[in-house]
Copies of this chain bind each other. A is one copy, B any other.
Amino acid sequence: MTDFTATKAMFHLPEGVVYLDGNSLGPLPRAASHRMQQVIEDEWGEMLITGWNRAGWMEAPLRVGDRIGRLIGAEPGQVVMGDTLSIKVYQALAAALALRPDRRVILSDSGNFPSDLYMAEGLIRALGQGHELRVVAPGEVAAQITDEVAVLMLTEVDYRTGRLHDMAALTKAAHAAGALTVWDLAHSAGAVPVNLADAGADFAVGCTYKFLNGGPGAPAFIYVAPRHADAVQPALSGWLGHAAPFDFEPRYRAGAGVARMRVGTPPVLALAALDAALDVWEGVAMADLRARSQSLSERFISAVEAACPDLTLASPRDPECRGSQVSFRFAEGYAATQALIARGVIGDFRAPDIMRFGITPLYLDEGDIDRAAQTLAEILNGRIWDDPAYRTRAAVT
């Protein structure tokens, strides 16, 4: 049984704060600060250039990738770290399209994160081969998987509503139609059980600064199914994906397996913070995490619905169809979120009317959930959101 009191103690949380925005940026794992000081002072400071070998910097993207792999049902050697999620989407999509040269449709949905759609747009323009990005409603995806589709590109958990796609069923349907899949796990990795191997996923990508708590702008990851890993020709063919980077050959030769998805010099400092953050997961069973996430989410929904009749649940009511967040619709959601933050309950807002709350059992307990629901009720029922101080929009909340 996972000890969630122990995991909570591994995080620094500011005094008096209930943090329900771990689906956007995870809080600081206490170990990250010390580990960063070590990598800066003992490694960079003392080893200088020799740190690439002596401190294992060069292999860190694969070593840390294996740690992520354990959380998403991948074997060692199938996940590598680097760049940002947007770059990894580009790499995965380019690789998948090249494996289906006779098809022209990328199928996605309107619940996908915009950057994934933007990167697809850019890739389509670069390729200049008349590919079409077909964006349908989330509920229409299954019906739209036709034999025109080259790649089904979806984010498993909707960043606004928390709606969870059935990865295994949709991957099976894609394969039956001759299509490949690219799964974005931004709101899945560390949030819900993921088993890429069992689902038969072809490519998967994700960020590590949300439920994996790697820090602001932490490096992204990419998974390539072993059946494709030696077949794909990288579009972003950088020297660290080369078979022999330090031979400095004039022509590109792709390295073996997922290592060919490396591009440039690895972000050593950021990887150190992420590596420390991943220590939290050592004693965590994903089934326990999922059960507790659902239990805390149900508790939050019940309390909010009982006390706040003006809010409408935007997330699926069935816990099995939700990721690890709960969203409500409220026309004055922006101001209400600001008022909540002013009272130490940090959630966030997504236009036009979504109030989002990340439910993260690693560091949230029943007391936090109850305080959040109670504070939300005070703001709604006291019309505190109507205070002009909370209605001025900033660029980011």
Contacts and interface: CB of A to CB of B under 8 A. Distances in A.
Contact of A84 (B17, B83, B86, B396): B83
B122 A236 contact: yes
A180 B135 CA distance: 37
Contact of A115 (B129, B264, B271): B264
Contact of A238 (B24, B119, B209, B218): B119
B33 A21 contact: no
Interface in A306-334: none
A292 to B, nearest CB: 21
A122 B235 contact: yes
Given A21-B49, A24-B49, A265 B114 contact: no
A250 B160 CA distance: 14
Contact of A85 (B110, B135, B265, B394): B265
B28 A33 contact: no
A396 B52 contact: yes
Among A53, A84, A215, A271: residue with most chain B CB under 10 A: A84
Contact of A265 (B33, B126, B216, B235): B216
Given A40-B33, A264-B220, A58 B236 contact: no
A318 B268 CA distance: 37
A321 B388 CA distance: 63
Given A14-B45, A14-B48, A41-B28, A265 B118 contact: no
Q: Range of interface residues on chain A?
A: 35 or more
A341 B51 CA distance: 13
Given A117-B250, A118-B238, A269-B36, A53 B395 contact: yes
B41 A33 contact: yes
A241 B82 CA distance: 19
Interface stretch (A65-73, A145-153, A187-195, A343-351): A343-351
A118 B240 CA distance: 10
Given A48-B14, A87-B83, A265-B209, A239 B114 contact: yes
Interface string A1-44: 00000000000101001010100110110001100110011001
- Give the number of times this chain occurs in the complex, counting copies: 2
Interface string A237-270: 1111010001111111000000000011111111
Interface in A355-397: 394-397
B115 A269 contact: no
A76 interface: no
Contacts of A217: 57, 265-271
A329 to B, nearest CB: 15
A395 B58 contact: yes
Nearest to A266: B217
A353 to B, nearest CB: 13
A218 B132 CA distance: 36
Which of A216, A240, A251 has most chain B Cβ within 10 Å? A216
B83 A114 contact: no
A210 to B, nearest CB: 10
A134 interface: no
B17 A48 contact: yes
A86 B239 contact: yes
A143 interface: no
B58 A264 contact: no
Contacts of A123: 126, 235
A252 B118 contact: yes
The 4 closest A-B pairs by CB, nearest first: A84-B264, A122-B237, A115-B239, A86-B238
12 contacts: A17-B48, A28-B40, A28-B41, A28-B44, A28-B45, A82-B84, A115-B238, A115-B239, A117-B251, A122-B252, A127-B128, A270-B270
